[in-house]
Each structure stands twice: as structure tokens, then as C-alpha cells.
């Protein structure tokens, strides 16, 4: 719903991803959490709580649409990612969910810090009843007294976001256990699942695995995936932690879970301080050393005859192993007692479940840089996804579009479809922009057909050497070639338009197609309009490299077609 009455339940990749996840594990939990909201909900303010009923209606239509169009049941819904919550909104959302017959959809709040949501719940019985789970982000394995006093489920509803090498895997292994041991958190959710975005964007390779080259098909199943398997392959939603969990004498921790039907899973980690630092918060020093740990199974578990054993060792390549099945432990003659030798940076899973499997996957294609020559005419009749491949929208939304009134060359285009600024999570730019290509590119030629839809105030650009994205997009530098519906052009050194290299008149108006060409070679850049030079030899000293990009002057409808970029191989380009 980019604008009011714009209901569309087929945009983006998330529907596909949820359905693929359900195929693999029908018991997987599905959650929704708004990071930003469409601007029309704010009535001119960057605030989603102007009309509580309208915002709740927007969220609920998404939940209903998930079921109606995709047969997906959303289990939990959040409030606003890492931003202010509104007590009355949470109550209205609960009331409207119930009215729509969605009592099974639980509310998680507030996806920020433990406070002030926990104290607010203790002071307001209706709010306490409305919220099912308190979710905190990056809690450092600890909770607070008020959160415990609510008697609600406590979750680390966003965690990890750490570079996915073995240190990231150590971080993940440590917090998966210690979020419960130290903080009674029964769920830990990794942001993000798969690092499928340009690595030079913020939080590059902070996914559990890496798949950031759709042009080559290359991917890497990183070590955090196998650390996850130590927990996720041997538990399911509905299992519960036993109270007999804790820290090991010489560092590390252990947890135990059961399904209540006799199955048992024990997970032990000995991650060292050096090899388990997460991106946040600061990790106080602790020591882990070689030790022997004895465990005794009591009660009904004392009759377990055998435990399967899975092991991971992070660190030196000569000792490293990931999610390897070892010989099982036989307990028939031991009265349920067993002793393990534990080194630093290890994970053990001991379980009654025999379903564990490391699995296999085809050898990925070799890693390749982004093609030096890349073209896209956007001629896709029935696109599988709404977005064009390899373009990464940083502000705004660029979607495949069909011009029903244009049977000619521009029947199929890429269109920027946001017509007002969203209620933002981060400090988005005032312009829209989508980047593409290789961040290392320096010398390049970008050519694209453009169509300004907004008379008088409309404007579009093509750009090269764009050096920032994500949460830093407002301050992105580069070489930006703009044309405007008022018959002018501009060349700027930044997206915001403060650094002006050249400007002048151009034969440009709205609702006509034009071809822009931007050439960047060393310290010089030139631009053409419809194949004729418009400006030449504009000197640019910074930045030295970056992505190609397209975009608009404001949140406005505009179209792009026949995108073509050619980059020059440069042995002196930035690393």
C-alpha cells in the first residue's frame, strides 16, 4: 500500500521467502514488524500514530492478505522497529485483531529496549494483557527486573548482525545459549538471514550466510549456519527450556530443552571472549579454558539409553570442524552420567533425536565481479518479483511497470512508485535512488532513457561513483547528472544537491522520453542529452569509485528504460 487504496500482496521477495520456509519447516513461526510506514498514514507527519485505527487497519490488512493470497498465517506482529511505541495504539491493534477474528495473532513489543515498555506494562493492566511477548534488540544476554515481573515471554527479537566469519559464528553460538541462561529469553532472532546485498552497504556480510552475487550465482554457507543447526535441528517451537541450565566452571554455558514427550536436547558452548564478540553491545571480559564437565540425567531422563552427538570447533583451520556427527553416547551402564572434555570455541549438541543431518548442496558457481557491461530493457511481461535484478533501492521503490497506453519501445519500464515520503525508520534521503554495479568501479559510461511524470517540479538523474547507501544515503557523494521538467539540468557531487559542478538550460519537459548519458573518466566527467553533449570536462576529484545509480529529485513518479552501463577495467582502482 504505497499510497491509500493501493493494496498489493505480491510485491517484494518476502512472500516467496515465507512460503519456501514453510515448505521446509511447517512449524516455523512467522512474524511481521514495520520498520517504516507509508507516508499517507502520517497525514504530513513522520509519525504512524496520527490515526491509530488507520495504522492498525493497514497492519491488519497485511495479515489478512497474507492468509487470503498466500495461505500464510502470521503468528506475531510488532509495533515499530526500534522506534517509539504508543500505548493506545497497542490497545487498538489488539482490539481490532480480535474484532477481525485474529485472536491467534500475538503482539510483540516494543522491539527496542526492555524499558520503558516493561514498566509501562506493569502500570497498565490492559496493556499487560494486550502484549504477549516483550522483545528487546541486542540485549547483551541480559534482561531487566521489570521485564521478568511481567511474567511474559522474553525474546531477543533482533540480535547478531555481526560479520559472518568464525568470530560471528562464536558470537551467535554464545548468545543462542546465554540469552536464556543469563536473561530467560526463549527466542533469539538473527538479523539478518542471508547477506544478499552489496557488501559495501552498511552491515556487509552480516547474515547467517552470504549470497551477494546474483549475477554469478555464487554463495557461501558460512559457519553461523552450522552454529544455528546445533539448536534449530534439535528443537521446534513448543519445546521448552529446563531450569537446570547455567555456566560451566571454567567458562561457557549449557542449556537443555524438551518437547515434554521424553525427548531431550542439550547444547553446550565454550566460546572464548576473543572469538565471540558481537557487533554490539560491548562484551565484558571473561575467560574460558580447557575443562572436563560432568552431566547427570535425572528423573525420566535417567532412562535415556543413547544420545546423538554433534560437534563444532571454530578457530584454526587444522582443528576446525563444522556440525560434525560424532559417535553417540551410550548411557545404559552409567546411571545417566557422562563426562565431556571441552576445549575453547566448541559447540556440542547431545540429543535423543536421530533426525540430525548436515545436508548437502551443489558446489556454488565461482565468484565473479559484476559484469563490466550490463544492460536491462525491463521487458518483462509477468515478473516473478516486482523489482528488477541487481538494482538495490536505497530510498524509494523501483518496480517493473507496464505502460498500457504506450505500445511502442517504452511499453515495459522501471518506475519509481512512491509519491510521498514514507514515515521513515532511518534518515532516508529526500530523493529516491537505486544503486547497481561494482563499488570498485571508477571509470564508467552510464546511459538510460528517462521519463519525468511530474510537470514543473519533477526531476530525474543518473549517477556514477556513488559511495554510500543504507542509513548513510543522505550524505552519498558521486557524480549526479540531473534533468528537470522546468527545462534545466544540473551536475552535482552529492545526492542532496549541495555540491554543484555545473548547471544550465536544457530542452526538457515532463512526459517526454529523453536519453541521458554520463561518462566518467579519471578526474573528468561529461553528459549528453539525446546523444548531444550538454556539458563536458567537469572536473571531479572525489569520490574515486562507487556504484552506478538512477533516481528522482523527490518522491515522485518517474520511469527508466534501456539502462546500460559500461565500466572500464582499471588496475589502479580502489580496493
Q: Which residues are catalytic?
A: 82, 158
- Cα-based torsion angle of the residue sequence 12, 13, 18, 20 in order, rounded to the nearest 10 degrees: 150
C-alpha distances in Å from residue 348, one per residue of 79, 184, 265, 363, 480: 37, 21, 10, 27, 53
Q: Closest Cα partner for 462 from 528, 516, 416?
A: 516
CB 295 within 8 A of CB 340: yes
Nearby residues of 19 by Cβ (< 8 Å), 6 or more positions away: 70, 72
Helix (H, G, I), strand (E, B) or coil at 427: coil
Instruction: At 301, give phi and psi (nearest 5°).
Output: -70, -20
Transcribe 227-258 into DSSP letters.
HHHHHHTT--BTBEE-S--EE-TTS-EEEEEE
* Continuous segment of H or E residues that includes residue 459: strand 459-466
Q: How far apart are CA 46 and CA 38, in angstroms?
A: 10
Q: Closest Cα partner for 391 from 560, 154, 259?
A: 560
CB 239 within 8 A of CB 259: yes
CB 441 within 8 A of CB 573: yes
Q: How many other C-beta atoms lie within 10 A of the C-beta of residue 175?
A: 27
- Cα-based torsion angle of the residue sequence 498, 500, 503, 508 in order, rounded to the nearest 10 degrees: -50
Q: Closest Cα partner for 96 from 40, 29, 65, 88?
A: 88
Instruction: At 311, give phi and psi (nearest 5°).
Output: -140, 140
b/e 86-116 (16+ beta carbons within 10 angstroms → b): bbebbbbbbebbeeeebeebbbbbbbbebee
CB 188 within 8 A of CB 173: no
Helix (H, G, I), strand (E, B) or coil at 127: helix
Peptide bond into 116 cis (omega under 30): yes
The residue written with cell numbers 520498520 in the block is 35
Amino acid at each position: 500500500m504505497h499510497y491509500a487504496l493501493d493494496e498489493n500482496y505480491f510485491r517484494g521477495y518476502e512472500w516467496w521467502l515465507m512460503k519456501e520456509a514453510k515448505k521446509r519447516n511447517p512449524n516455523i513461526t512467522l512474524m511481521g514488524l514495520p520498520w517504516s510506514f507509508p507516508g499517507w498514514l502520517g497525514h504530513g507527519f513522520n509519525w504512524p500514530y496520527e490515526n491509530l485505527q488507520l495504522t492498525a487497519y493497514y497492519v491488519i490488512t497485511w495479515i489478512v492478505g497474507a492468509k487470503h493470497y498466500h495461505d500464510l498465517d502470521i503468528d506475531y506482529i510488532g509495533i515499530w522497529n526500534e522506534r517509539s511505541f504508543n500505548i493506545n495504539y497497542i490497545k487498538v491493534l489488539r482490539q481490532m485483531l480480535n474484532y477481525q477474528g485474529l485472536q491467534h495473532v500475538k503482539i510483540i513489543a516494543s522491539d527496542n529496549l526492555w524499558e520503558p515498555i516493561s514498566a509501562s506494562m506493569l502500570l497498565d493492566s490492559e496493556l499487560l494483557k494486550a502484549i504477549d511477548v516483550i522483545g528487546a534488540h541486542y540485549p547483551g544476554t541480559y534482561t531487566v527486573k521489570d521485564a521478568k515481573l511481567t511474567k511474559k515471554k522474553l525474546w531477543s527479537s533482533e540480535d547478531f548482525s555481526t560479520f559472518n566469519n568464525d568470530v560471528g559464528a562464536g558470537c551467535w553460538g554464545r548468545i543462542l545459549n546465554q540469552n536464556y541462561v543469563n536473561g530467560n529469553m526463549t527466542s533469539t532472532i538473527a538479523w539478518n538471514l542471508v547477506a544478499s546485498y552489496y557488501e559495501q552497504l552498511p552491515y556487509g556480510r552480516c547474515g547467517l550466510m552470504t549470497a551477494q552475487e546474483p549475477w554469478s550465482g555464487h554463495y557461501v554457507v558460512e559457519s553461523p549456519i552450522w552454529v544455528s543447526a546445533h539448536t534449530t535441528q534439535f528443537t521446534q517451537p513448543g519445546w521448552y527450556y529446563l531450569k537446570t541450565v547455567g555456566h560451566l566452571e571454567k567458562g561457557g554455558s549449557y542449556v537443555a530443552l524438551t518437547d515434554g514427550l521424553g525427548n531431550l536436547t542439550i547444547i553446550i558452548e565454550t566460546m572464548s571472549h576473543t572469538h565471540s564478540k558481537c557487533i554490539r553491545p560491548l562484551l565484558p571480559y571473561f575467560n574460558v579454558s580447557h575443562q572436563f564437565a560432568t552431566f547427570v540425567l535425572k528423573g525420566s531422563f535417567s532412562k535415556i539409553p543413547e544420545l546423538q552427538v554433534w560437534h563444532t570447533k571454530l578457530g584454526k583451520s587444522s582443528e576446525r570442524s563444522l556440525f560434525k556427527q560424532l559417535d553417540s553416547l551410550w548411557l545404559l551402564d552409567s546411571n545417566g552420567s557422562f563426562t565431556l572434555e571441552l576445549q575453547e570455541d566448541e559447540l556440542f549438541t547431545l540429543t535423543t533425536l536421530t533426525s540430525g543431518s548436515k545436508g548437502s548442496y551443489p558446489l556454488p558457481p565461482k565468484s565473479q565481479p559484476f559484469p563490466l557491461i550490463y544492460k536491462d530493457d525491463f521487458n518483462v511481461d509477468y515478473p516473478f518479483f516486482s523489482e528488477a535484478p541487481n538494482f538495490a533501492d536505497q530510498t524509494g521503490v523501483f518496480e517493473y511497470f507496464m505502460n498500457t497506453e504506450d505500445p511502442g519501445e517504452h511499453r515495459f519500464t522501471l518506475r519509481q512508485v512512491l509519491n510521498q515520503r514514507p514515515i521513515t525508520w532511518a534518515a532516508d534521503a529526500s530523493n529516491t535512488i537505486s544503486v547497481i554495479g561494482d563499488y570498485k568501479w571508477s571509470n564508467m559510461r552510464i546511459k538510460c532513457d528517462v521519463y519525468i511524470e511530474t510537470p514543473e517540479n519533477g526531476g530525474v538523474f543518473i549517477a556514477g561513483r556513488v559511495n554510500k547507501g543504507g542509513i548513510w544515503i543522505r550524505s552519498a557523494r558521486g557524480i549526479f547528472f540531473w534533468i528537470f521538467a522546468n527545462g534545466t539540468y544540473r551536475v552535482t557531487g552529492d545526492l542532496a544537491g549541495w555540491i554543484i559542478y555545473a548547471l544550465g538550460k536544457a530542452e526538457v519537459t515532463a512526459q517526454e522520453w529523453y536519453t541521458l548519458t554520463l561518462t566518467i573518466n579519471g578526474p573528468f566527467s561529461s553528459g549528453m542529452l539525446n546523444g548531444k553533449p550538454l556539458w563536458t570536462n567537469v572536473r571531479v576529484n572525489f569520490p574515486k569509485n562507487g556504484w552506478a545509480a538512477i533516481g528522482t529529485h523527490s518522491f515522485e513518479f518517474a520511469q527508466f528504460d534501456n539502462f546500460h552501463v559500461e565500466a572500464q577495467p582499471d588496475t589502479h582502482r580502489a580496493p
